[in-house]
Chains A and B, each alone.
Chain A
Amino acid sequence: MRLNEQERRTLNGEYGEANRLCLQIEVELGEAYGVERLIPITGAHIDANSYGRVSGEAKLAFAQKIVHAGGKVSVPTTLNPGGRDISRWRKFRIPEEFAAKCELMENAYLKMGAIPTWTCTPYTYGTIPCRGEQIAYAESNAISFANSVLGARTPRYGDFLEVCAAITGRAPYFDLHRDENRFADLWFHVEDPRPYSFSEDLFYSLLGYHIGGICGGQIPVVTGIPAGVNRDSLKNFSAAVASSGGVGLFHIVGVTPEAPDLESVTTGEVREDRNVVTGRQLLGAEEELTGCSPDDIDLVLLGCPHASVREFQMVLAGLAEKKVADGVEFWIQTNRGVYSWIEEMGILDEIKGAGVKVSTDSCLFNWPLDNWEFERAVTNSAKFAHYAPNELDLATAIRDIDRCVRAAVTGEIEGSGLE
């Protein structure tokens, strides 16, 4: 790899041990992938700060190593959800010891100078990357959204490499950082969305889930979707396509910024093979994401990725002054920006009055749920429905927000859109 003077000095330890270690890892990785040089980045989103049940200790060991070595981020750096709601963790029955570990992790990243966004949707407020901006993002849904919807440039950074990039402000110039790697590999054409519709958020979750399962790590381009897809639908698509597949970038022609037309993002070869998708095929995705019968439920979970103001408004409309049923917990996860807005809008008081619990700063997947006895959950999130059966040992069903709200009120899951 070709290194400039400052990079060489960094590797010699002239800018401290943290910078040396972080650059060393980036250079090793870059050399493994035949990368010629490093480029400057102007933003980062860290995922390695979430203290979770599964890999919290390893992440904490790494964070503390960097802090001890004097590491400070050198670009604006946002943080993913941690393992607890910082102000309401007791209400969610998070054990004291676990909360203490989370605090160690929070402090480590605050010492590094990162911005305490504690959200998986850093693209909703505060530090939104621009089109063409070179960034180092971790968190699969945020990567997919930043690349595809915002048109920023980031490979699928994973835990630790994004920290290294945030500290050094440099990134290996490879993968989705480079224009020539942003062309689509597979073409999907949506012919008929029925029984779903183009205006339904759930349609985009299922479409993303279906396409991700076929793509693996390849880049899809989708045609046939009318303009005007809202951000929640695109968020759902991003999260779903990066759950069933390793998709870091997708194009939707006429919707995402790099794809005004099919020709802009494809070669002739890709255009020869059109994969038709119909709404009927997506029923398969809905079925795959529904592992429990329409029986009694104990948990309704929205906000994976973190809920938007619009989604809270949909919940409020769906509740229509009804209350969450006895024996059901209705939780919505969001970030502090959205929380403060819905508070000021009066939405928060109303839904709290109905029995909904809203959390910030965190992600259920990191929480120890030992103090709850959840068995069956319903969610609007393909990502949650995909991971919860293994990660949380929860039988899960996917439904749109309206049906999730009705499930919370009645304690029963209605049939899918078809029945």
Chain B
Amino acid sequence: MTEITVPGEFYVEAGCEGEVIKTPDPISFWGGYDPAEGRIIDGRNEACGERVTGKIFLFPEGVGSSTTAAVLLESVRNSTHPLGIVNVRTEPILVTGALIARELYGVEIPIVSIEAAGFEGIDDGDWLKIDPESGSLILRG
């Protein structure tokens, strides 16, 4: 087993470990994500139809509506949320959703951004650990 460590910038300081669900396309949570099922529903997104629940969700960046935080919070309320989120560019809108989820529901969703090259190196189905102690992602292959 090999381990690759990818340094990350932590926007929500928390940890988790799980399978990766990745899309190369930017996503708008509002209009592109169904919080009842934790599913990507934007037909323009390569991962359309996939569920992110219980997985570590990788998408390069957020686009579109400022309702993102509420949709993420609703997903937490429904327990359909991803375990963690990894981006290349993390928007404050998304981080806000995670911070409120912690206040309202006591759920921690780590949010980390990494360099584009590191992002390219992680694939759908990979096993990833988000490790706040070392400030990095640990990719197991």
A residues in contact (CB < 8 Å) with B: 21, 24-25, 28-29, 32-33, 47-48, 50, 52, 54-59, 61-62, 65, 138-140, 143, 155-162, 174-175, 212, 216-217, 242-246, 386-387, 389-391
A390 touches B43 (CB 8 A): yes
A156 touches B66 (CB 8 A): yes
Quick one: which of B86-131 are within 8 Å of A by CB?
A: 89, 91-97, 99-100, 103-104
Quick one: which of B34-83 are within 8 Å of A by CB?
A: 34-35, 41-43, 61-71, 73-74, 76-77
Interface centre among B42, B62, B96 (most CB of A within 10 A): B96
Cα separation A54 to B78 with both chains bound (whole Å): 11
Q: Which 10 A-B pairs have the closest CB atoms?
A: A158-B93, A55-B74, A58-B74, A55-B70, A159-B70, A58-B73, A158-B66, A387-B31, A159-B69, A161-B96
Answer whether A158 and B97 are a contact pair too, CB < 8 Å, given A32-B11, A217-B63.
Answer: yes
Question: Whole-angstrom distance from the CB of B45 to the nearest CB of chain A?
Answer: 10
Query: How many of chain B's residues have a CB under 8 angstroms from any CB in A?
Result: 40
> Please, which residue of chain B has its CB at the minimum distance from the CB of A247?
B63
Answer whether A246 and B61 are a contact pair too, CB < 8 Å, given A32-B11, A158-B92.
Answer: yes
B63 touches A246 (CB 8 A): yes
B31 — which chain A residues lie within 8 A by C-beta? 386-387, 390-391
Show 22 A/B contacts (Cβ-Cβ < 8 Å), sorted by A. A32-B13, A55-B30, A57-B77, A58-B35, A58-B70, A58-B77, A139-B66, A140-B64, A156-B66, A156-B93, A158-B69, A158-B97, A160-B97, A217-B63, A243-B64, A243-B65, A246-B91, A386-B31, A387-B65, A390-B42, A390-B43, A391-B31
Question: Whole-angstrom distance from the CB of A28 to the nearest CB of chain B?
Answer: 5
A47 touches B67 (CB 8 A): yes
Answer whether A55 and B71 are a contact pair too, CB < 8 Å, given A143-B66, A160-B97, A217-B61.
Answer: yes
A160 — which chain B residues lie within 8 A by C-beta? 69-70, 73, 96-97, 100
